[in-house]
Amino acid sequence: MQRICVIGGSRYFGKLLVKRLQTTGHQVTVINRGSTPPPAGVEHFVIDRNDEAALTAALDSRTFDVVVDQVCYTPVQAAIAARAFAGRTRRYVMTSTIEVYDPATAALPAVPAGTPVPEPIVDPAAWLVAMDLPWHDDGYLEAHYAEGKRQAEAVFVRAGGFEFASVRSAHVLGGGAQEFTGRLAHYTGRISRGGAITVHTKALPTVFIHYEELADLLLWATTAEFTGPINACSDGPLDVHDLVAIIATQAGREPVYRTVPAGEEASPFSFDRHYAMSNARAKKLGFSFSRTTDWLPGAVAEALTTEPSPTA
């Protein structure tokens, strides 16, 4: 049994992670703003993580074996957490994102199209941190989501005081109504109603992960010994046409497409640039991934079940 603190953990795969940590016998503490209470038996602090004084006071003399940070989006938040948990935890795991590799958001080393992107392409130890940017502004943060995650990783790597690992998650799907991004629902809704899916002329593949598999990987990461970033994605990249074909088959409809050139806005998961990740490092460390095409039909079925029936 370990003492594990989860920051966030109130919804989707974070909520599932808390349940699985508890089921496997760990002593769990959850820190969030109180939107959803954790399961019975889980210690819960309702705190705004941006309030360093309140966070430090609530932690008091508590120590943890591992902290799993589900909701760190900026270097400012990372710096607050690094100070608050210095000397209070042996290991710190941050949930990051595939978006750190998006070449549209930063000048990154070129990777040939079709070559899965490895972790060293974005090295947090070498990444520039700018604490004075308007990270507190919601609009700025939304527009700079990928950069916020890159800089947050960089802050933790340099902080010292604990082992640090980041889990760079692929696009997360599954869970039906739980799936708060709404991206799969976008597709099931439009295809069920015969609406057009906007795609790029040359849409490139990306990678996905089921929300339960991501919870499993984060559970594994709490007891693993690796440090630094790992990519988390199921086997088998798909492009938007592959995704739509699976959804259309489940919905019993023929897909309708509208094509736009590179650089123009398209439907979610239609990408005109390459940044599909490699999961080779996680596999080498001992985690086994499923294939996207094994779980995606079930995730689509869940989404269709929660989708209102199309009108006649």
138 exposed, middle or buried (CB, 10 Å; 0-12, 13-18, 19+)?
Answer: exposed
Average pLDDT of the chain, as a whole number? 92
Number of folded domains that form the chain:
1
- What percent of the chain has a predicted confidence (pLDDT) above 90? 82
Which residues 6+ apart lie within 8 Å of 123 measured at CB? none
- Bridge-based pairing of strands 208-210 and 196-200 is unpaired
Residue 303 lies inside a defined structural domain of this protein: no
pLDDT in tens, 212-233: 999 999 999 999 999 999 999 9
Query: Does position 160 have pLDDT exceeding 90, yes or no?
Result: no
Query: Does position 177 have pLDDT exceeding 90, yes or no?
Result: no
Looking at the chain, which runs of residues are DSSP E strands? 3-7, 27-32, 43-46, 64-69, 89-97, 163-169, 171-173, 196-200, 208-210, 228-232, 256-260
Query: Does position 308 have pLDDT exceeding 60, yes or no?
Result: no
Query: Does position 132 have pLDDT exceeding 70, yes or no?
Result: yes
Tell me which DSSP letter residue 200 carries.
E
pLDDT in tens, 239-263: 999 999 999 999 999 999 999 998 8
pLDDT in tens, 58-115: 998 899 999 999 999 999 999 999 999 999 999 999 999 999 999 999 999 988 878 9
Q: What is the pLDDT of residue 307?
A: 59
Domain harbouring 11, CATH code: 3.40.50.720
Q: Taking a C-beta distance cutoff of 8 angstroms, is the pair 150, 129 a contact?
A: no
pLDDT band at 310 (very low <50, low <70, confident <90, very high): very low
- Tally of CB atoms within 10 A around 291: 10
Residue 129 lies inside a defined structural domain of this protein: yes
Mean of pLDDT values over 28-37: 86
Residue 270 lies inside a defined structural domain of this protein: no
Structural domain boundaries, residue 23: 3-176+207-235+277-290
Residue 309 lies inside a defined structural domain of this protein: no
Residue 157 lies inside a defined structural domain of this protein: yes
Residue 295 lies inside a defined structural domain of this protein: no
Residue 172 lies inside a defined structural domain of this protein: yes
Q: Which amino acid is at 311?
A: T
Of 96, 69, 98, nearest to 82 (Cα)?
69
Residue 93 lies inside a defined structural domain of this protein: yes
Mean of pLDDT values over 37-41: 83
Of 135, 175, 182, nearest to 155 (Cα)?
135
Q: Taking a C-beta distance cutoff of 8 angstroms, is the pair 8, 14 a contact?
A: yes
